[in-house]
């Protein structure tokens, strides 16, 4: 009897964990993933295609601005994502990812009495670790944003929990708290509580950060 129940429950858990795991930076084999992250000083959008269960190539566009509006950056890059390691447990999953890219950086530095514009090549290697169950979620990432004489390394940590479990075809609400910082553009840590709604192959997030600025994120796998 126990073995029969186990065979029934295990696939259901796998489905629910796949729903919780949609925050990863790539989808399943031969799928496209589109993501966006938007607020006043940071706007990022990308799309990639999974050529294998562990590898994806894509393109991204990012806008970054300093808190005091003295600096702004735009970056268009070609990206590569790699699932380095996955750990599966009966009720949880953990992943280690590599994310990187190379692209064209345009920037503006507003100084007293003059503006300085530039065009440079930027590289963006980084790693992400995430852990999730059907009820809790944790993610930590660090990514280098480097060009000649420029260091805008980006660090973020987020954690959250779901209010309740749902079936795969129903919407599941989560509460997510994220802290992040970008070197050279902000001297403070941005903290944002967000509500996330997950349904099958997409999620949306919305919140207001500690500077009272709205933020909106989305992800869609197709």
CA atoms within 13 A on the CB side of 157: 2
Answer whether residue 106 shows pLDDT above 70: yes
Residue 19 pLDDT greater than 60, yes or no: no
- More reliable by pLDDT, 16 or 91: 91
Cα separations (Å) of 106 from 70, 76, 117, 150, 164?
14, 9, 7, 12, 44
> Residue 180 is part of which domain span?
2-221
pLDDT of residue 112: 57
Q: What value does the mean pLDDT take over residues 14-20?
A: 42
Q: Is the pLDDT of residue 10 over 70?
A: no
Q: Is pLDDT at 4 greater than 70 in this prediction?
A: no
Average pLDDT along the chain: 89
Query: Does pLDDT of 17 surpass 60?
Result: no
Q: Is the pLDDT assigned to residue 28 strictly greater than 50?
A: yes
Asked if 129 contacts 143 with a C-beta cutoff of 8 angstroms, the reply is: no
* pLDDT reading at 6 higher than 80: no
pLDDT tens track for 53-102 = 999 999 999 999 999 999 999 999 999 999 999 999 988 999 999 999 99
Tens-digit pLDDT profile for residues 148-195: 999 999 999 999 999 988 887 789 999 999 999 999 999 899 999 999
- Indicate the pTM of the whole model: 0.86
What's the CA gap between 82 and 54, in Å, rounded? 6
> Alpha carbon of 71 to those of 80, 100, 104, 116: distances in Å?
27, 23, 17, 10
Distances, alpha carbon 7 to alpha carbons 1, 11, 135, in Å: 10, 7, 21
Overall number of domains in the chain:
1
Tally: H helices and E strands in the chain: 1, 15
Residue 113 in this model has a pLDDT that exceeds 70: no
Q: List alpha helices for the chain, DSSP H.
A: 2-20
Cβ neighbours of residue 65 under 8 Å, at least 6 residues apart?
A: 40, 41, 42, 71, 72, 73, 185
* CATH code assigned at 124: 2.40.160.40
Which residue from 199, 197, 212 is spatially nearest to 67, judged by alpha carbons? 212
Cβ atoms of 95 and 38 closer than 8 Å: no
Q: What percent of the chain has pLDDT over 70?
A: 88
């Amino acid at each position: 009897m126990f073995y029969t129940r186990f065979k029934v429950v295990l696939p259901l858990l796998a489905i629910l964990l796949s729903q919780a795991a949609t925050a990863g930076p790539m989808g399943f084999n031969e799928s496209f993933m589109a993501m966006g992250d938007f607020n006043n000083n940071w706007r990022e959008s990308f799309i990639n295609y999974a050529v294998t269960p562990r590898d994806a190539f894509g393109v991204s566009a990012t806008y970054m601005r300093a808190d005091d509006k003295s600096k702004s950056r735009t970056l268009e890059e070609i990206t590569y994502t790699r699932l380095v390691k996955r750990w599966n447990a009966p009720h949880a999953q953990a992943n280690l990812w590599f994310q990187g890219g190379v692209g064209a950086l345009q920037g503006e530095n507003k100084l007293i009495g003059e503006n300085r514009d530039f065009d440079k090549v930027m590289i963006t290697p980084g790693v992400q670790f995430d852990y999730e169950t059907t009820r809790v979620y944790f993610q930590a990432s660090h990514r280098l944003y480097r060009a000649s004489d420029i260091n805008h390394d980006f660090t973020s940590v987020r954690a959250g929990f779901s209010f309740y479990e749902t079936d795969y075809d129903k919407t599941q609400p989560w509460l997510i708290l994220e802290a992040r910082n970008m070197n050279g553009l902000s001297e403070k840590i941005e903290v944002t509580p967000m509500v996330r709604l997950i349904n099958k192959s997409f999620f949306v997030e919305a919140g207001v950060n500690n500077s009272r600025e709205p933020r909106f994120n989305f992800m869609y796998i197709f």
